[in-house]
Amino acid sequence: MKFESKYSVTVNRIKSNIIRELLKTATAEGIISFGGGIPDPETFPVEKLSKIANDVIMNEYKVALQYGSTEGDPELIKQYIRLLKKYEDIHCLNEENIMITTGSQQALFILGTVFLDEDSYCAVSKPIYLGAGSAFNQRNPNYISIPLEKDGMNLDILESELKKLEKEGKIDKFKFVYTVSNFHNPAGITLSLEKRKKLIELAEKYDFIIIEDDPYGALRFEGEKLPSIFKLNEGKRVILLNTFSKVLSPGLRIGVIIANEELIRKMVLAKQGMDLCSSTLTQRIAARFMEKHDLFEEIQPTIKLYKEKKDKFMEALDKYLGDIEDIEWIHPEGGLFSWIILPEGFDTMEMFEIAKEKKIIYIPGETFYVEEPERNTMRVSFCLPSFEELEEGTKRLRETIEEYAKKKGINLKIK
Ligand SMILES: Cc1ncc(COP(=O)(O)O)c(C=O)c1O
């Protein structure tokens, strides 16, 4: 049978996930990978989790092996409200403000379903978290891509775009701004306090929702912790997304949506048709884990390790790339990523072939754009390579850059 004529317009729009394709090549012997945005498995609390998992299956199987409510396990919701009070100083929540999802990725998909039609507009950062692009693309909305500066989205550009929509009589089609507030994926950037407040002002003036996606906030290793946009706005028009993926384990597939109760009710309707409920087993394991252990205390050694790796990586970047003119990189204060911007003329996707020969992997920046990409960029993660590999990998990155420049006739200016 020929299947082509049967496919939906939506599925034909989906491109394969380039990161997954690229990472397939990351397993060969001797490869140093700056590619994966995944936690180091050695940091998973294996013993504690296995004991709790065993107890949950033996003693709570009537709940943990059964279907659960779409909203999520009440025990987990209770624990999460407690955590938000303690660590985020958010006190305005009850059970109706929370929904558990199958990872934050599902939350993004749900939000696309709840808010976006083909004639809708939403603003996203440029670059954008690839998974958000994939989730929203399924609704085929109009994007307004806002460049990132060192302190987050350029809000002057956002406002001028909003004014344009207002003039054209389309502002009611503008639904939300999507932002990764802390240690952005892929760019490593944090939205400053001033910009958080300004974004809320704009949201009030132009009547839109803010989606604050924050998987990395708990992984701050330096600098001052900032209040969430949700906290600053007391949740009036902000939807906060959290996940267990970077603080406990991505395999549990647990995300958390925190929002106004009316919005949560709509999201519950959208989720019902997707999976009825998220895994009751992993939710109950996470709930019991949080009851016995302090989630954020548990990850302190991991954060310490990430900071040491970040410092080592920044040192290596200075050593091996610091003398090249017109090259920049982000110094993250937390999370897993830095973002390198090479001089004009570089195409990091094309350069990837040379990188593979040199046995290093990074993620070419062009994968992180919903519109015209900036091809001279790359995402680099420092959390998985060892200290020696961070040094050696950065040295090989220098060689890769030099070889590509030579091949393309780019004059690499040295300071
Ligand atoms: C910004 C951002 N949002 C959402 C997700 C999805 O996370 P989850 O594992 O909770 O689905 C990720 C994963 O890397 C991410 O970086």
Q: Token pair for residue 178?
A: 């999507």
Mean pLDDT for the chain overall: 95
Residue owning tokens 């006190």: 91
Is the CB–ligand 1 distance for residue 250 below 6 Å? Answer: yes
Segment 350-372 shows an average pLDDT of 93
Tell me the three state secondary structure of residue 33.
strand
| Spatial separation of the C-alpha atoms in residues 371 and 57, rounded to whole Å | 47
Is the CB–ligand 1 distance for residue 215 below 6 Å? Answer: yes
The model carries a pTM of: 0.96
Q: How far is the CA of 62 from the centre of ligand 1 (A)?
A: 30
Tell me the three state secondary structure of residue 360.
strand
Rounding to the nearest 10 degrees, give the CA dihedral for residues 238, 185, 299, 255. 50
User: pLDDT by residue (tens digit) across 88-142?
Assistant: 999 989 999 999 999 999 999 999 999 999 999 999 999 999 999 999 999 999 9
pLDDT score recorded for residue 284: 98
Q: How far is the CA of 103 from the centre of ligand 1 (A)?
A: 7
Q: Token pair for residue 312?
A: 């080592």
Its CATH class, for the domain covering 4-44+299-408, is alpha beta
| Spatial separation of the C-alpha atoms in residues 63 and 193, rounded to whole Å | 42
CA 368 vs. chain centroid, Å, equals 11
Segment 389-409 shows an average pLDDT of 97
Segment 391-409 shows an average pLDDT of 97
On the question of pLDDT at 26 being above 70, the answer is no
The residue extents of the domains of the chain are 4-44+299-408, 67-297
On the question of pLDDT at 38 being above 90, the answer is no
Segment 211-218 shows an average pLDDT of 97
Q: Which residues are bridge partners to 176 per DSSP?
A: 122, 209
Distances (CA, A) of 304 to 69, 220, 316, 383, 397: 37, 10, 18, 11, 25
Segment 191-203 shows an average pLDDT of 98
Q: How far is the CA of 31 from the centre of ligand 1 (A)?
A: 25
pLDDT score recorded for residue 106: 98
Q: Token pair for residue 313?
A: 């990586």
Segment 175-185 shows an average pLDDT of 98
Residue owning tokens 């998974």: 131
pLDDT score recorded for residue 36: 79
User: pLDDT by residue (tens digit) across 315-349?
Assistant: 999 999 999 999 999 999 999 999 999 999 999 99
User: pLDDT by residue (tens digit) across 272-299?
Assistant: 999 999 999 999 999 999 999 999 999 9
Tell me the three state secondary structure of residue 100.
strand
pLDDT score recorded for residue 52: 98
pLDDT score recorded for residue 183: 97
Buried b (16+ CB within 10 A) or exposed e, 299-323: beebbeebbebbbbbbebbeebbee
Q: Which of 105, 191, 248 should be mutated for ligand 1, with most atoms under 8 A from CB? A: 105
pLDDT score recorded for residue 25: 65
User: pLDDT by residue (tens digit) across 50-90?
Assistant: 999 999 999 999 999 999 999 999 999 999 999 999 999 99
205 burial (CB, 10 Å; 0-12 / 13-18 / 19+) is exposed
**CATH tag for 67-297 (out of 3.40.50.300, 3.40.640.10, 2.60.40.10, 3.40.50.720):** 3.40.640.10
On the question of pLDDT at 27 being above 80, the answer is no
pLDDT score recorded for residue 398: 98
On the question of pLDDT at 24 being above 80, the answer is no
On the question of pLDDT at 28 being above 80, the answer is no
Say which DSSP state 414 is in. Answer: B
Is the CB–ligand 1 distance for residue 213 below 6 Å? Answer: yes
177 burial (CB, 10 Å; 0-12 / 13-18 / 19+) is buried
237 close to 208: Cβ distance less than 8 angstroms = yes
pLDDT score recorded for residue 29: 80
154 burial (CB, 10 Å; 0-12 / 13-18 / 19+) is middle
330 close to 188: Cβ distance less than 8 angstroms = yes
Q: Which of 104, 124, 182, 336 should be mutated for ligand 1, with most atoms under 8 A from CB? A: 104
User: pLDDT by residue (tens digit) across 301-315?
Assistant: 999 999 999 999 999
Range list of β-strands (E), 102-219? 121-126, 142-149, 152-153, 174-180, 209-213
User: pLDDT by residue (tens digit) across 137-162?
Assistant: 999 999 999 999 999 999 999 999 99
